[in-house]
Structure 1
Amino acid sequence: MLPQRTVVCKGINFARMCFLVNCLKRFKSSQQWLSRQKADPYVEKAKIYNYRCRSAFKLLEMDDKANILHPGQTVIDLGASPGSWTQVAVQKTNSDGADTTQPIGTVLSIDKLQIFPIEGATIMSNMDFSTIQAHDKVVEALNGRQVDLVLSDMAPNATGVKELDKDRIIGLCYMAIRFAALVTKIDGNLLFKVWDGKEVPILEMDLERFYKSIKILKPKASRSDSSEKFILARGFRGIQRPLQNGRWG
């Protein structure tokens, strides 16, 4: 019996050791994240301009280059929490009516997570945009309007397995493309995030069948060590055939 007890004790000690190692790794990662946040000028800038997070400056920079947001537009922000892209969209489309000389736009924001209210935006929290129920609610909220621009800064929670994480974000991209195809007006646009990888050229080829032009954008506000980039698909041609299983049929 003594050897068995020894093995059990060793097992317990090993489990505790693994737990402690994982805790140390998480602590180190958290410390690195905090240090990076403190040194990041966009984090402080977001506080100054009252944006919910630094990602607002990615959209602002891409809009400066590509000129995709205008007063009076109808825009949908997918995976919008905490809402910084929505804040930018509200300002640029004048959906809050702040500028009485410009047309008033419409901004809808959707996320599985809670999004705190943003003046000028219709918030759809705790909702999976890929479901039929979400699509029906969006169509109801649009009240006959079609969408000028679909935005997506979505990314999956990282598993730490590089290839798996890339597959997951590609899956999100195709879901965003499918959603956009169902609500976007002819000549409308789509802007979404992707991580660099061998799957991206295939994604671009699929997009080229349904949009007039495809452009890759990498804003300066994206961290230099990040593999993220953004695909801007302009000039939606319409759907020639149905979408199946998240991919073009």
Structure 2
Amino acid sequence: MGSSRWFGITAKLLRSSCQKNTLFDNFLHTTPVRLKTTVKNLKGRKTSSQQWLRRQLNDPYVVQSRLQQWRCRSAFKLMEIDDKNHIFRQGDVVIDCGAHPGSWSQVAVQRVNATGEDSEAEVGFVIGIDMAQTAPLSGAQIITGDFTLPDVQQKISKILMGKQASVVLSDMAPRACGIKSLDHEIIVDLARTALTFSHTVLKQGGHFVCKLWDGNETKALEELMKTYFHTVKRMVPNASRKESKELYLLGIGYSKKMDKS
């Protein structure tokens, strides 16, 4: 394979991430002499944008997400969570709150056999919800809407048709305003909304996973989850960025009877 073709393929693999695809298309630059992919240092571009691009280009999870055809690097976070805690089983019904661009739903579809690829196993089902338009995904039903609104939650219940979910996921996050304490409060509120909804759909023994940015209210949410789940644990997947305060709370083994209120 010629060097120019090799570098062209490398650039294409790196031209997509969860966001800012246009930036990748405009500023990727390959240098055969140095045998690495770099970013053009274009005049007038913010330093923060250039730093973001360099970080993406040097992120092994971004590269692997493209090679393995995951929609976003966050797929590796959920796969690690499942590998270590076994939250998914073939035949499960999964609700993915904050699904865009769809990588968590992709993982869920694969692990619950939602496409029926394993003809000898039970076939699962995934419902993905997000305010952003999300591309269709085989094995999943995608709802475009604000999960926090009652009418959107009613749509989910109608799709379930009386069935109960085995797993409720919340990867919801606000658009960060830069005030860490406020961003933390908002993401905790989103997680609480998903937890409250899970009481209406989650079966006995089911599981709940939510993303947080760590802060003063993390412990309170963790304690609340302990009133409904046999095991509650914190987890920071390897794919979480080192500079981030991101963590995941896992509720394993749901039981309404544990409610002490």
SS in 1 for 2:231: strand
Per the alignment, residue 111 of structure 1 pairs with: 130
Per the alignment, residue 55 of structure 1 pairs with: 74
Cα displacement string for residues 66-123 of structure 1 (whole angstroms, at most 9, x for unaligned residues):
1111110000000100000000000000001111121100100001110110011011
When structure 1 is superposed on structure 2, of 192-201 and 113-122 the one drifting more is 192-201
Structure 1 residue 25 displacement after superposition: 11
Per the alignment, residue 232 of structure 1 pairs with: 250
Number of aligned positions between the proteins: 219
Q: Does 1:138 align with 2:156?
A: yes
Q: Does 1:187 align with 2:205?
A: yes
Q: CA RMSD in A?
A: 1.9
Cα displacement string for residues 14-56 of structure 1 (whole angstroms, at most 9, x for unaligned residues):
xxxxxxxxxx998222111111000000001000110001000
Q: Does 1:85 align with 2:100?
A: no
1:18-33 superposed matches below 5 A: 27-33=46-52
**CA separation in 1, counterparts of 2:234 and 2:90?**
24
Matched AA of 1:142: L
Structure 1 residue 234 displacement after superposition: 1.1
Give structure 2 stretches of 5+ with no counterpart.
1-42
**CA separation in 2, counterparts of 1:239 and 1:132?**
25
SS in 2 for 1:219: coil
SS in 2 for 1:62: helix
- From 234, 238, 245, the counterpart of 1:220: 238
**CA separation in 2, counterparts of 1:108 and 1:42?**
25
Structure whose residues are more often helix by fraction: 1
Matched AA of 1:83: G
SS in 2 for 1:194: strand
- From 69, 85, 90, the counterpart of 1:71: 90
**CA separation in 1, counterparts of 2:134 and 2:241?**
24
Change in 2 beyond 3 A, CA 1:73/1:26: farther
1:135-214 superposed matches below 5 A: 135-214=153-232
Change in 2 beyond 3 A, CA 1:107/1:25: farther
**CA separation in 2, counterparts of 1:197 and 1:237?**
27
Per the alignment, residue 118 of structure 2 pairs with: 99
Task: Give the TM-score normalised by the residue count of structure 1.
Answer: 0.84
**CA separation in 2, counterparts of 1:140 and 1:185?**
16
SS in 2 for 1:76: strand
Give the structure with higher Rg (CA). Answer: 1
Give structure 1 stretches of 5+ with no counterpart.
1-23, 242-247
Runs of 4+ in 1 over 6 A off after TM superposition: none
Per the alignment, residue 12 of structure 1 pairs with: none
Structure 1 residue 225 displacement after superposition: 0.9
Change in 2 beyond 3 A, CA 1:45/1:28: same
When structure 1 is superposed on structure 2, of 198-207 and 76-85 the one drifting more is 198-207
**CA separation in 2, counterparts of 1:80 and 1:196?**
21
**CA separation in 2, counterparts of 1:195 and 1:138?**
26
Cα displacement string for residues 121-140 of structure 1 (whole angstroms, at most 9, x for unaligned residues):
01101x11122211221111
Q: Answer whether contact 1:181 1:239 (CA < 8 A) is retained.
A: no
SS in 2 for 1:149: strand
Task: Give the TM-score normalised by the residue count of structure 2.
Answer: 0.80
Identical-residue share of aligned pairs (%): 43
Q: Answer whether contact 1:130 1:179 (CA < 8 A) is retained.
A: no
Structure 1 residue 209 displacement after superposition: 1.1
**CA separation in 2, counterparts of 1:224 and 1:194?**
15
